[in-house]
Amino acid sequence: MSADTPTPDPSNSGGESYTVQSGAPLVGTLAVPGDKSISHRSLLLAALAEGTSTISGLSHGDDVAGTRLAVVALGAEVEADGPTVIVHGGRSRLHAPDRPIDLGNSGTGMRLLAGVAATLPGATTLTGDDSLRSRPMDRVAEPLGLMGARVSGEGERCLPPIRIDGGALQGIDYTPPMASAQVKSAILLAALGAEGETVVREPVATRAHTEEMLAAAGAAITFERVGGGRVVRVRRSTLEAGSFTVPGDPSQAAFWVVGGVVVPGSLVTVADIQLGIERLGYLGVLRRMGATIEIEESGNGTGSVTSYTCALHGTVVEAAEIPSLDEVPILAVAAAVALGSTRFRGVGELRVKESDRLAGTVELVRAFGAEAEVEGDDLAIEGTGAPLQPGQVDARGDHRMAMAAAIAATACRPGSVTTITGWESVATSYPGFVDDLERLRGAPGAPG
């Protein structure tokens, strides 16, 4: 068995560990899985749309597979035709299911599905794994409750399982207390079945996938930038069936872009990814740190990104630059390699991701020999300005922490060996990550 093959980890409750030996550069071109955010939304919009829709490029990760099963539980019909997924949908087909829907580890799936469930008469119960059951759902329970749904969960933070009693909804005028595309999307999906106009006023604009896809599907929706935020207005709408094409996931591309910069001798191109401005803030951060990154647009909002090894220096990163915060763990790896101090401001929301990513990122950076600490809602990192030291890393069952650790391991001094536990979590979003990493390193692909 090669050093780069995931192996069962008996200390990790039947999970996997992944051992990485450093020394090889990352060289080549690759395509990442279909965008996870757009995949979830494509399935839900196709289920709501009247008629038959097709989806190409859908993510094959466990999170999206959970949403696919969920729309079937609600009454949509889903089938595969080679790489294309066909969905027979329509609001008249949908109903509250007679048993709980298990979303696994997917917070996106749960929050968006809550918006759909709020429009359905009867009770829908949504649950998930241990990690998801520890994530607060009060942020969607509040606006959906204001619209007329009853959303209940455990404790003040409305922890899953959550029950949504849906039906007659009224539009609301709502300003989310945090930047969250998931909360916004839950409200917009519920608004499709509500009386009157619903307005969502984002103080900080988040990714606009939901409103753009709703507009393309014929919804009565408008949205405009106002300062650094966005105002979205939507009314009850019947969606039109159509064809959805899911581009490559820019958040997954971030691992390879950073890898190309921090692993000596590397040159990496990630092809056919989504180039939306709200999804590529991390490229601006890397450029400010000294990275040279090339973008080649190919039309329809997609293109390729190329990065290669550069010396980095510290910077200050504002949360508004990376609204979803998904790229913070891998940017922290870049900060650990960089010379000097990097501060991520206002990233307290990392505490309620798939794991406590704020604490986990501190552990990750320290495991590889750099300094890191949490100061309020800020993350401060003192980079080494040199190759990282090998470490033992617990990914905490979090896919983004696991993949960030793998890239950090490849950036260690040559011949170093790093073991990452909790590796099985990568299947939630990027089942082929190991194969892609080994191919870029010129090693044989890992067995499935």
Q: Which residues are catalytic?
A: 326
Lay out the sheet containing 84-89: strands in order across.
77-81, 84-89, 51-56, 243-245
Which of 375, 267, 281 minimizes the C-alpha distance to 320?
281
The single-letter code of the amino acid at 326 is D
Q: Is 233 helix (H, G, I), strand (E, B) or coil?
A: strand
Beta strands in 71-197 (DSSP E): 77-81, 84-89, 101-102, 122-127, 150-154, 159-166, 169-170, 173-174, 194-195
The single-letter code of the amino acid at 403 is M
Give φ, ψ of 64 to 5 degrees. Answer: -70, -35
Pair of tokens at residue 379: 């993350």
Which of 425, 366, 364 minimizes the C-alpha distance to 394?
364
Please list, in sequence order, all residues whose beta carbon lies within 8 angstroms of the beta carbon of residue 98, skipping any fewer than 6 positions away. none
Which of 115, 119, 140, 90 minimizes the C-alpha distance to 40?
115
Distances (CA, A) of 371 to 135, 165, 340: 28, 48, 11
Length of the chain: 448
